[in-house]
Each structure stands twice: as structure tokens, then as C-alpha cells.
Amino acid sequence: MQHKHTSNYTEQTAARPAQGSESAADKSTGIFRDAPVPKAVISNIVPSIVSMSMVLVYNLADTFFIGQTKDAYMVAAVSIATPAFLLFMAVGMLFGIGGTSLISRMLGEGNPQKAKRASSFCFWTGLAIGVIAMAFIWLFADPICRAIGASEDTLGYTSQYLNIVAAGIPSLIIGNSFSNIIRAEGNARTAMMGMIIGNLANIILDPVMILGLGWNVAGAAIATVIGNVVAALFYLCHLLSGKTLLSIRPKDYTAKDGIAAGVLAIGVPASLNSILMSASNIITNNIMSRFGDMTVAGLGVAMKVNMIVVMLLIGLGSGIQPLLGYCFGAGNRKRYTDVLKFSLCLALGLSLIMTAVCYLGAGPLVYAFLDNPDASGYGIAFARIYIYSGPVMGLLFVLINAIQSTGAAIPSLILSVSRQGLLYIPILLTFRRLFDTAPMLAAAQPAADYLSTALAVILFLYTYKKYFGRAQ
């Protein structure tokens, strides 16, 4: 993929319309172009971190309220179903991250019409895939549940949960796509509000449906569907309001003119990471199930605790991607580098703080979800092992998004298939052969994360030199 910068940043700034005639695109993306670097970074990452925090709270709420039923098999069932759910979140990420990367670069290059066409492509293609996926799960729910690690004791709960959440897959894909894409036009607050409203609806409905009405796993699934529908409707209202640079009009839909290729070039690697995360979780659940359902329950809760760090740092990394993409599209190497340096320092500081919080608080956090002594014992041990990779996770996610912001498809693909695939799965299988104990199997994840961070540094340096060149 070639990128042409026909004018430098100074020339673009000088050529901007006067204040009174400033276009909608200038108003929406002004903070990308003009704000001091700390302000530009903070104003983009805060809404993104808040959005990820709400996703985190929603994920924790499901497990917390299911845990209040005192049935560890239900906790295990929701944990087992999560990887299948992540597969469809990966489709949303495909269009969300791929669309954000292309749209932010197009706006940086001064091409809002192509940005509109990319937005419409992401909406309608994502919706079609969501409908197909919904029908597929309803047809094959039980075989899918067995394949992802459900035992005879957890099959009924897992199948029930997955059948219900399938109804929300189209809205899940739309919500996950446009919570990212809307940020590409500099509208981070609207993207944040959709996530907050959808997840807040889920969180409020969880105790009502799980405990109040006694619907247990079905209640958690119904609350999830309603939350996804609410978020998708919020984004639809914004997209139809006429106050956006984006479009979902069918007449703007096209896969031509590099639209599909531009979205998929970055979207596929980004979604592969989620798909491989889902696949690796399925493999891990199947391996861990040999140690019993309580081990699987403990592992599921440990993953939730680890998400406290991971989701916040994903929010930081994804928050700066539209800003970096705009700077890249505008050919402004200095601003791109300044934004990246500031973000890396911020990520390192936040990583260290959150690692300490989660390691020291592992006990109370796990006990909030599990009171079974066996399951909670595993949960605490696994949570502390998982958090070993905390100090470098912020750097990893910033570098991943920095690579994606340039449209560098091959480095993005290599990094995406490495962390949870080419690195994690061989490490997991090696640890199984060498140690075959539950704690050492859990240690495969931090080992893969440190290697992935080293790989991300190498790939970013390669990408930066290739796409920006050595000269200013």
C-alpha cells in the first residue's frame, strides 16, 4: 500500500479556510491538527479509556452476579462461552479498527468523500455478517459448546447463554465497529457515550434479571443482548443526525476504489488477534478442564481480573490511533513522533500502577466472584501469574496501534498472529509437555506477552523507517 503526502503539515495549515468558513471536517478534526500534544492525546484517550472501563465493568458484572448464585458451574459456563462471543466481537473489531485506520488517514489527506464510503461499507458489510452468524449459532449451538470446552455439567448452561446472546450479534458488531469508527472523525465523546449507555443498561439489568427474576445464566445473556442493542441504536441515531462526517447511506456503499482493501488490510490483522485470543482461550479451557471444572472457573475469573489492566491499556492504545492516523495522513512526522513518545511514557506509568493494584488486590477481587475454596484458590494464583505481563502491556498496545495507524498491513498481520497464535500456543503446548501443572500453563500468557512486546518494537521501527523514510 502506497501513501502519498503531496503537501507538508505547514502548507496544509496555511491553506486552511478562515475561521468563519471552516468546514465541518476542520471543526471535527481540529484537535488532531492544532491542539498541543498532551491535550490532543489526553482528549482522545480519556473517552477511550472510559469506554473500555465500561466494557470491563460489564464483563465483571456478568461474572459477579452469576457468582452470587453460588453455582460455580454457571461461572464456568459463562467463562467457556466467552471465547465464542469474542469471535463476533472480532468481526466488529475488523471493521472498527480497519475503518478507523482508513477513515482517519483519508481525513488527514483531505478526502472526506472516501471516508464516507468507507463508513458505509463497514456498516452494511458488518450487519450482513452479523445476521449470518446469528443464524449459524442457532443451528449449531450444542456442537459449538462442546467444541469450546463445555463438559456434561456445564453444557446446558453454556448452550443456553450462547443461544440467547446470538440474537444480539448484529447489534454487537455494529456497536463495536462504530465505537471505534466515530473516533476517526474526532468525535471521541460520542463514541464513549454509546459504550457507556449500552454497558450501563447491561449492568443495571444484570442483578434484576439474574438475581431478582431468578433467570440466572439466561438473565445474564438477555441483559447482554439489550445492552448491545441500546449501544447500536445510539450510534445509529448519531449517524443519521446529519452532524457527522460519516455515512451509512446505501448509495455510499462500495467495496471499490481501495475501500474494502484499505479496511481489510488493517482490520483483518486486528481481528485475527481477537480470533486467536478466542482460539487460545478455547485451547486453554480444554487443557485446563483435565484439572476439573473448578480450575476452569478459577481461570475464567483470573482472566476477568487481568482484564482490569488489559482493557484500560487497550483504551489508551486505541484512543491514540485516530490521532496518529491523521498525523500520518497529513505527512506530519514530527507531530506523529511527539504523540507517540508522550503516549508511550503515559502507557508505562499506567501499566506499572495497574499491575501493582491488581497483584496486591488479587485476593479480594477473586473472592468477589467466587466463594468456592478450590475455585477461588486457583483464581488467585492464576490472577497473579497473569499480571506478570502488566508492566509491558501498555507499551505493546500503543505500538500495535501505532503500526495500524500507518496502514502497514504486513507488520500488523505478523504482530496479530504472533501474540495469541505463533507465540502463545507453542509456548502453552511446550509448558504442558515440560511441566503440565495448572500454574505453569497459566504462565504461558505472560511469557508470550513479553516476547510480543519485543517483536512489536522491532516491527514498529521497521514500519516507521519504511513509511516515513529517514528524512523529515
Supply the DSSP symbol for 471: -
Q: What is the DSSP letter of 253?
A: -
Query: d(Cα 286, Cα 428) in Å, to the nearest integer?
Result: 12
Is residue 11, in this structure, part of any structural domain at all? no
299, 377 Cβ separation under 8 angstroms: no
Find out whether 60 and 319 touch, Cβ atoms under 8 Å: no
In a domain, 333, yes or no: yes
Low-confidence ranges of the chain (pLDDT < 50): 1-25, 470-472
The per-residue pLDDT for range 207-265, each reduced to its tens digit, is 999 888 888 888 888 998 999 999 999 999 999 988 888 888 899 998 888 899 989 98
In a domain, 213, yes or no: yes
Q: Whose CA is closest to 34, among 20, 13, 5?
A: 13
The type of residue at 48 is S
Indicate whether 393 belongs to any domain. yes
pLDDT in tens, 382-424: 999 999 999 999 999 999 989 988 888 888 888 878 888 889 9
In which domain, by residue range, is 395 found? Answer: 34-468
- Among residues 327, 448, 467, 321, which one has the least CA distance to residue 392? 448
Domain count within the chain: 1
Q: List C-alpha distances in Å: 56 to 43, 316, 400, 405.
A: 20, 14, 20, 25
Is residue 403 assigned to a domain? yes
pLDDT reported for residue 447? 94
Cα–Cα dist 27/52, whole Å: 26
Cα 338 from Cα 460, distance rounded (Å) = 15
Dihedral of the alpha carbons of 7, 13, 14, 19, in degrees to the nearest 10: 140
What Rg, from alpha-carbon coordinates, does the chain have?
22
Tell me whether residue 361 is in a domain: yes
Under 8 Å between Cβ of 110 and 32: no
pLDDT at 8: 40
Q: How far apart are CA 388 and CA 412, in angstroms?
A: 25
Residue 18: is it exposed, middle or buried by C-beta count within 10 angstroms (0-12/13-18/19+)?
A: exposed
Residue 170 lies in a domain: yes
Q: Is residue 264 part of a domain?
A: yes
This prediction's pTM: 0.71
Give the span between the Cα atoms of 146 and 414, in whole angstroms.
Answer: 30
CA–CA dist 230, 73 (Å, integer): 29
Task: Please give the Cα distance from 155 to 226 (Å, whole number).
Answer: 24
Task: Give me the pLDDT at residue 352, please.
Answer: 94
